[in-house]
Amino acid sequence: MTKNRSVIFFDIDGTLLDSNKKLPNSTKEAVFKLKEQGHVVAIATGRAPFMFENLRRELGIDTYVSYNGQYVVLNGKVLYKNPLRTDAVEKLTEAALSHHYPVAYMDHKDMKTNIPEHPYVKESINTLKIDRYPSLDPEYYVGRELYQALLFCPEGEEKQYEMAFPEFDFVRWHPVSVDVLPKGGSKAKGIEKIIEKLGFPEERQYAFGDGLNDMQMLSTIHNSVAMGNAEEKVKSVAKYVTKSVDHDGIQHGLKMMGLI
């Protein structure tokens, strides 16, 4: 490794992808410029691997932290897995059903729901603008490793689940949907696994993000950059703030950091 090489982690929604879930040309050009210069470019997202396969292919990226740190891949090979406890998922499902709330089960290949049709599922999943919609399989959690679940409920309702299920972290990403993750799991921990393998010193580590699930990553990585479209509390934990994703924020940020 030369001393000028760095590793750069990018969130997807609101960071690599703009408000219309499109990849700006300036971002694509900037990422390829990073790669041409020998830097390691990686993704750190709350999305499942199958939700950004096309983006990985378009950008030529094969190192990523998915499911907010629960499923980590380095150079196309699985490096780290942190699945949910199956017995706790079953109990969470029972609790959700008692309030007529759906649950989605997610592994590295697919996602399934336990209720055939529900407006909360449609409303939240459609905002991701992906070509994969969860099909029905109420027992998908049985006999397989799940890295995340989705609990579909209105804002504030997750509090009762937080109290009842201390083995999970609940992170809201939509007014009617909450990510359910293993307790203590985060993008920062997934990134740590990659850093341990690659050996980059902290001054050669960079991260770009905009969401609440990026806060630990941005507060941990030495050179952290919040997008201009991020909430103020996200910006407050980052060392730097770039322009909005809709105004060439990635390209601007990378130039600001002297990487391109």
Say how many residues make up the chain: 260
Q: Is the dihedral of CA 181, 186, 192, 194 positive or negative?
A: positive
Tell me which residue of 84, 255, 57, 52 sits closest to 179, measured CA to CA: 84
Tell me which residue of 220, 221, 139, 212 sits closest to 181, measured CA to CA: 212
Q: How far, in Å, CA of 128 to CA of 123, rounded?
A: 10
Q: How far, in Å, CA of 81 to CA of 146, rounded?
A: 10
Structure tokens that stand for 67 in this block = 């499911």
Tell me which residue of 146, 137, 95, 142 sits closest to 115, measured CA to CA: 137
The backbone torsions φ and ψ at residue 257, rounded to the nearest 5 degrees and listed phi first, read -85, -5
Q: How many CB atoms lie within 10 A of CB 135?
A: 11
Q: How far, in Å, CA of 205 to CA of 188, rounded?
A: 12
Q: Taking CA 62 as the corner, what is the angle to CA 57 and CA 68, rounded to the nearest 5 degrees? A: 105
Q: Which residues are annotated as catalytic?
A: 11
